[in-house]
Structure formats: structure tokens, C-alpha cells
Structure 1
């Protein structure tokens, strides 16, 4: 589906969550625009668009801003439905796997990576992540926990390998799905950060072959844009999200309500705005920013809090 505005991904190359979206661009053969942001704050051209949300990546289409990979994936699926990320055999499970891969699996993987890198981690990166998490980013504790994190990483890989053990190409069968994209993120992160993955994968040949297939998907076709140029696009554009009520909202929320939306685990910065659209999986809020102008910021519901503003 063509769009008037470019599909812009605000990301940085080392971001494992961004790799999910880059893979979807490759899978669906989407032409996209890459805006490389800094790994740490400040991000003065992005914050006016997100309202303070600072996790990576963020997708921008004109003055519509999509936060969190769950939300980004669903919007890409809506605009580019083939090949689908949600085969019938695992339509609901495909989304639910993110609660495994992005939380418990990822947290163990982060501890393994940074515990192993230890003194190579810049102090300014540690300080930034402590602000993001609201807790100490304790590299020394991560280092002491390396044996346990190896155990955890191996246990999670074995789950993937068990799913692939019958000879299927993908986790849900003969068709790639979001299950594969979600699970691959952690394998990709270790592959790019540590030299131990090949040794670990000797035990899991099905996962090793699957990783090779995943890597071959690529990232589609991209062009580069500056953060300032992306902000100018948002400033000049008008949001295109239509009002949508949810008659089944269990808390009686409706378009026009003022709310603050934030992640429920870390990066808990409330983005304030007026509800424009909502459903069981999605909420979009309108903001008026002195720099970016009128934008609509989109969030998922799973893993996010919606509070009265």
C-alpha cells in the first residue's frame, strides 16, 4: 500500500528491538527511511514527536508516531498485509510471544551481554540506562551472574529448538510469523555482541539453521534521513488517524478523554494527550507540541499503563 509520507524508522544499528522492524521491512519488501538516533539521550529532534517516550525504535509516518514494536508491527501489517506476520495457525500466539521474548528472555540476554562486556561499557551509557530503568545498571552484578545467564539463554534456545525439532522451517510451521521475528531478536543480539553463540548452537542444530534463514531475510530497501528532516516532516504534516471508539473498553475510556500512557516496566515516562482511537490492542492520543505541532502518538495496550491525565 502506497503512502503519501515516507515510512521513517528512528533507530540505531545495535538496537535488538529495531532489528525486529528491520527484518519485517525485509520480509515484506518495504522501502523505508532510516533515521539513526543516538544510543543515549538527549534526542532533541525525536522527543517533541513522542512527547518524552524514549525507548527504541519509533516509527513515524507523517505526523503519526508509533511507539513500541508491538504497535509498529501491527501498523505495518495493516498497510502491507502480505506476507502476513500472523498465519492462521498462530494468529494470537504470534503477538503473545512478545511477552516472553521482550521481557524474561531479553532481560537475561541483556545481563549476559553486558556482564560479559563489563569494562567495555561506557560510563555515559550506564548512566543513561539507569535513568531509563529507574534503577542501578549494575554491570558488576551482571558479571557475577554470567553462569546463571548462560543457563537461562540456553534454556530459552532449547524452547526454540524443540519447536523446530520436527523439521519445520519456522516456529509455527511452513510459514514465517511474528513468533520467529520475536524470538530471533535475542539470538541476533548475542550474535552481534559476543563470540559464544556458535559454541552454544552446537547443541541446537535446528535453531542454528533457523538463525541462518532469519539472517538471510535482510532489511529491505532503505534511504537515509537526518533527525531534523524527520521532525520537519512531522511539523508540516497533519495526523491521519481517524477517531475510533471502543464500546467494550472495560474502564469506559472514550475519544476525548485526557490520559497519560507509559510502559509498565521501564522508561516509565507518561506521554499526555487526548484519546483519538482505542481498542483492546491499541491506543492513539493527540498531542500539541510547541516544536512538532499536532501529532498523534500510538501505543500498544499490552505492557502499557493508561492513566487519567
Structure 2
């Protein structure tokens, strides 16, 4: 929920959603682009992990585009709407509901949302039915790879979050202390071992897998500013390194026809929720899948902000001139 002073005062970032990734003073927004940045700067060829492990028996086939589409257009859209629809009504009555009304762009009625929970459970049941055949073979991941891929990660996150939020776990933090946590098995009538044995086995196998991975996370005390000074001393990327690699270069004329050229003032905002909180700045570079701007607002750090073009709208600010 707003306010988020760390993002706004440090990076001049009005973007509403999380996570946000900082690699030096290059700031990456939206999970879809964050993943590609991590894959680019920390490649498997140098010993890092990957969310695109090789496809069993067909290493030359690149399934990356299909998995990215699965994550962006299935788990992050209709499946997410179903799990979000399971949020307890008391959460919508808190300041979280007020905040999300601003994010979505219209008022929210807690009682009406509560009445839709059975429909959202039915929608979840539909998604699980579509997914179950993929996991009919014991020990299978979403894509036949030796280790989980982005498909497994994105699907697991939505299911884990949906199960927990429907039960009332974590709602105290979600609502900013506006309502308390609970333990109510809401999703169990739909997602259980008897109804979906393949998905159930996969779900718990994935949890076992991630429990074996090292946890490199370090929590920095809120009072510490050392990380800000570290970022301040980090050089910005060279022009040729700015965009994550893509299959093709930027189209030679389409962006120019819309006035999207280096140096112009633009706004960038999601195409679904959060449209009323665009990030405005000077266009630094634009590619077929990514746009980079330097925020107009002053902040503690001089940064460049990277957005994916998928799921975002980039517009020239009215009256802007080079």
C-alpha cells in the first residue's frame, strides 16, 4: 500500500506494484522483466541458476516464449484474478480496500466481493482442471525438465498465495494491521489430493525442492543507508548493455511514428491496474520488449527505470518536445 517512501524518495518511482529490482542504479519493474534481467546478468553459463533449464531430450528446442506467456497471460491474469477473489471481505473493509480502490480506479464493496467467493472458487476449480493432466505423471514438472522452470514458479506462487490468503494467513500485514490473521481452510474443498492428485503431488514436490535451495537473502535494517551509498557509487550501464537481449531489434519505424524517440518526455503505466500512477521521465532507450526512462522527479539517487512493454502503455507526454 501507499505510501512507499523508499521507492519514491530513493528512486522517484511512482510505480505501484512489487517486486522491484535494483542492479546498481538500473531499476527493473515487473516480474516479467526482472526475470529476464537476472537471466541476462547472472547467466547459467557462469554457474548461476536458471528458470529455463534444458528440455529433456530436446535441448535445442527453446520453450522460453511459451513459458513466459504461461506466466504472463495465465497465472498472472485469470488465475490471479481467481485467487485475489478469495481475499476475506474484512480485508477489503480495511485501509487495504481503500488503497486498492485507488489502484483499480473504482470503489470496492466488501459485501459484494464476499458474495463472489463461491464463483471465484469455481473459477479456481476450472483452472486446476485444465492444469491437472500436465501433472498426471508422478515427479513431472510443468515442462519436462530436470529442475523446475518459470512455469512451476509462477504457478506455485499463485496457488500458495491463494491458499494462504483465502485462509486469512498474512492478512494482518496485507491490511497494514487493519485486520487479524486467521486459519480457515477455504480452498481445501477445491484443491485437495483426492480431486487433483497430480497437482497435489507436484505442489508438495515443488515445496520440497525449494526447501533444499540456499537462501542468500539478507535483510537490511530500515535505519541503514549503507546500501544507498553503495548504489550511488555504482556506474550506470553502457548504452549497448541497457536492453535485455531479445529475438529481434526494435522495429525501425513504428515507435518513431508515435514520437517515442530518445530524449522525449514519456509516461509509463500498467495497462490494467495502477494506470493512475504513471512514472514520468525522459526516454533513454526503447526496444521491442523494454523501455528505459530517467525519472523527472528528483530523488536521492540518479537512476534509470526499466519497464517491460508487455502489459504496459508508453505514451509521449502531451506537449513534450525534444
Q: Report the CA distance between 1:205 and its aligned residue.
A: 1.0
Aligned length: 267
Q: How does 1:113-132 map to 2 (within 5 A)?
A: 114=87, 117-121=88-92, 123-132=94-103
Q: CA deviation at 1:96?
A: 0.6
The answer to whether structure 1 residue 192 and structure 2 residue 164 are counterparts is yes
Aligned twin of 1:251: 255
Q: Is the 8 A contact 1:63 1:234 kept in 2?
A: yes
Q: How far apart, CA to CA, are the structure 1 residues paired with 2:127 and 2:268? A: 31
Aligned to 1:298: 306
Deviations 1:70-108, CA, capped at 9 Å, x for gaps: 111111111223343234452111111111111111011
Aligned to 1:55: 17
Give me the CA root mean square deviation: 2.3
Whether 1:44 and 2:22 are equivalent positions in the alignment is no
TM (norm. structure 1) is: 0.78
What's the counterpart of residue 77 of structure 2? 103
Matched residue, 2:30: 68
For residues 120 and 135 of structure 1, what CA distance do their matches in structure 2 show? Answer: 17
Find 1:212's aligned residue among 179, 182, 204: 204
In the TM superposition, what are the counterparts of 1:1-309 in structure 2 within 5 Å?
40-48=1-9, 49-82=11-44, 83-86=49-52, 87=54, 88=61, 90-97=63-70, 98-112=72-86, 114=87, 117-121=88-92, 123-167=94-138, 169-175=140-146, 176-193=148-165, 194=167, 195-199=185-189, 200-202=191-193, 203-216=195-208, 217-218=210-211, 220-226=215-221, 229=225, 230-240=227-237, 242-243=239-240, 246-248=249-251, 250-252=254-256, 253-268=260-275, 269-287=277-295, 289-309=297-317
| Preserved CA contact (<8 Å) 2:268 2:279 | yes
Q: Contact 1:65 / 1:297 at 8 angstroms: preserved in 2?
A: yes
Residues 253-282 of structure 1: per-residue CA shift (max 9 Å, x gap): 443333211100011122122233332221
- Cα distance in 1 between the residues matched to 2:135 and 2:267: 41
Q: Which runs of 5+ in 2 are unaligned?
A: 55-60, 168-184, 244-248, 318-322
Shift of 1:234: 4.2
Answer with 1 or 2: which has the greater Rg. Answer: 2
Q: How far 1:46 moved relative to its partner?
A: 1.0
